[in-house]
Chain A
Amino acid sequence: MRRTTDRTAPPTPPPRADIDQRTAERLPVTLPVTYTIHDPAGPIEGTTVTSNLSGTGVGFRIQQPVAPASPCRLRLTLPQRTDPLHFTGRVAWCRKIPHDSPQTFEVQVGLALSTPADVREEPSFATYCHFVASELVKRYLG
């Protein structure tokens, strides 16, 4: 996928051609999310909804650019659950989404979730893992 990154991370080696290098499948799932991004210019907090998610990260829109690799904290609320799931992670990328007026824009961010060494010992992550797997099954085998 072509992606315009305002602040880019260092280039990575080219992928091996004979192996599926795509990362986890992104699912167009909308979930309430509360975030705190520790940008070098200061913390950015807010509540919005996800535009997509995968097992390794979530994407949503915010109002201002943030620096890639900024640490962040997230609270995600899954359907049929009242208690939110808590995660930490980092900004993987961000890009401006222009509006009709050149002066106004939103920013789409992709946050990479920190994966615990033992998924089962991290209840939030295990719950999230099952949710993503269920969404994959519903989407492709349902």
Chain B
Amino acid sequence: MPTLSLSSPEDPQSLTLLGRLRETVPAFLQPVEFRLVQSRQELEAALRLVYDEYLKRGYVTPNAQRLKLSLHHALPATTTFIALRRRTQLLATLTVIEDSPLKLPMDEIYHEELDGLRRQGRHLVEATLLALNTECFGRGVFTMFHAKKLLLTLRLFKVMFDYLRSCTKADDLVACFNPKHAILYDFLELKPLGGRKFYAGANGHPALAARLNIAETKTHATWHTAYAFFYGKTPSPQPFAKRLYLSAEDLRELFVLASRLLPSASPAEVSHLASCYPSYDFDTILANR
């Protein structure tokens, strides 16, 4: 189970017995912190949670690092959000990736659909790598009906929306997901962007694509309970100031030594990444061991 060792648990017993606690939903959510990752350790814990959960469903093939890592994580604008209970237990994670010369992960199968939006001058961000820790919740009840799972997911989405509205110029949120999760994205008013396809990025599982015009979500708040919650408090960029910025050593360890993602990248991709980190020596980062 992805458990961070950032600090001593305040109440170790409550963590091990988390699942069987007969606590109310507000009591469950109260000690949960929703924020973006602030350290490489947190990033790796989030990517390990995604890997573990996706492996259970066959969405990834096993890898030695046990991380669901892609070259997009090397981009400084890629932002990973986490739900952390009592400062140690990772309950859920979600990542947003901003459009860039590296394109978006879902370009792999929905490139034409995304290019259609790009041609309209829309700035895209992809919400991806959503994972809930089934060690805490089990898999028996559909997320939409499980109060803790649903509210945890929506709280995570609220942080993401706050971030998008206060720290980015994103016009559209796009997402690519297994059709069995479509009801959640329907509930959040994402509109169909692309039909059913098979996604190598999800180990050949089927996928659907959807988009959300972010500017339109403000009107959703007048009639949609989830958006009323998302727009309940004006976001401030302040909570997002303390975010992870990968060092040259992090880039080398994660994307060269552990995964070989950077050496496998195209010259254009490497060049773009180098432009994102003008003070880093990419020859040293990419050097053989």
With A54-B145, A120-B179, A142-B228 as contacts: A19 and B154 at CB distance below 8 Å:
no
CB distance from B83 to the nearest CB of A (A): 14
User: How far is it, in angstroms, between the C-alpha of A5 and the C-alpha of B226 when the chains are bound?
Assistant: 37
Is chain A's binding surface mostly helix, strand, loop or mixed? Answer: loop
- Interface: A55 (CB within 8 A): yes
User: How far is it, in angstroms, between the C-alpha of A28 and the C-alpha of B32 when the chains are bound?
Assistant: 26
User: What residues on B are CB-neighbors of A101 within 8 Å?
Assistant: none
Query: A56 and B145: CB pair below 8 A?
Result: yes
Is chain B's binding surface mostly helix, strand, loop or mixed? Answer: helix
Q: Among B17, B25, B187, B224, point to the contact of A129 (Cβ < 8 A).
A: B187
- Interface: B225 (CB within 8 A): yes
| Interface hit among A30-38, A39-47, A102-110, A130-138 | A130-138
Query: B145 and A130: CB pair below 8 A?
Result: no
- Interface: B258 (CB within 8 A): no
Query: B145 and A21: CB pair below 8 A?
Result: no
User: How far is it, in angstroms, between the C-alpha of A56 and the C-alpha of B224 when the chains are bound?
Assistant: 22
27 residue pairs bridging A and B, Cβ less than 8 Å apart:
A15-B20, A19-B20, A19-B135, A19-B136, A19-B138, A21-B19, A21-B138, A21-B140, A23-B140, A24-B145, A24-B146, A24-B147, A25-B25, A25-B145, A55-B146, A56-B141, A119-B182, A120-B179, A126-B186, A129-B144, A129-B183, A137-B151, A137-B226, A140-B25, A140-B26, A141-B229, A142-B225
Query: B136 and A132: CB pair below 8 A?
Result: no
CB distance from B108 to the nearest CB of A (A): 23
- Interface: B276 (CB within 8 A): no
Query: B148 and A20: CB pair below 8 A?
Result: yes
User: What residues on A are CB-neighbors of B144 within 8 Å?
Assistant: 55, 129, 132-133
With A118-B179, A137-B154 as contacts: A25 and B147 at CB distance below 8 Å:
yes
Q: Report the nearest A residue to B148, measured CB to CB.
A: A20
- Interface: A83 (CB within 8 A): no
User: What residues on B are CB-neighbors of A15 within 8 Å?
Assistant: 20
Chain B residues engaging chain A, CB cutoff 8 angstroms: 16-20, 25-26, 29, 135-138, 140-142, 144-148, 150-151, 154-155, 179-180, 182-183, 186-187, 224-226, 228-229
User: How far is it, in angstroms, between the C-alpha of A56 and the C-alpha of B17 when the chains are bound?
Assistant: 25
User: How far is it, in angstroms, between the C-alpha of A55 and the C-alpha of B147 when the chains are bound?
Assistant: 10
Q: Among A18, A19, A126, A136, point to the contact of B183 (Cβ < 8 A).
A: A126
User: How far is it, in angstroms, between the C-alpha of A133 and the C-alpha of B149 when the chains are bound?
Assistant: 11
CB distance from B25 to the nearest CB of A (A): 5
User: What residues on A are CB-neighbors of B145 within 8 Å?
Assistant: 24-25, 54-56, 129, 132-133
Identify 17 new A-B residue pairs, CB closer than 8 A, beyond the known A24-B147, A134-B224.
A15-B20, A16-B19, A18-B19, A19-B136, A19-B138, A20-B18, A21-B140, A25-B146, A55-B145, A56-B141, A118-B179, A119-B183, A133-B145, A136-B150, A137-B229, A141-B155, A142-B229
CB distance from A89 to the nearest CB of B (A): 14
User: What residues on A are CB-neighbors of B226 within 8 Å?
Assistant: 133-134, 137, 141
Query: B26 and A20: CB pair below 8 A?
Result: no
CB distance from A126 to the nearest CB of B (A): 6
CB distance from B134 to the nearest CB of A (A): 8
Q: Report the nearest A residue to B26, measured CB to CB.
A: A140
User: How far is it, in angstroms, between the C-alpha of A137 and the C-alpha of B136 when the chains are bound?
Assistant: 21
User: What residues on B are CB-neighbors of A20 within 8 Å?
Assistant: 18-20, 136-138, 148
User: What residues on A are CB-neighbors of B140 within 8 Å?
Assistant: 21, 23
CB distance from B199 to the nearest CB of A (A): 18
CB distance from B202 to the nearest CB of A (A): 17
User: How far is it, in angstroms, between the C-alpha of A16 and the C-alpha of B16 when the chains are bound?
Assistant: 12
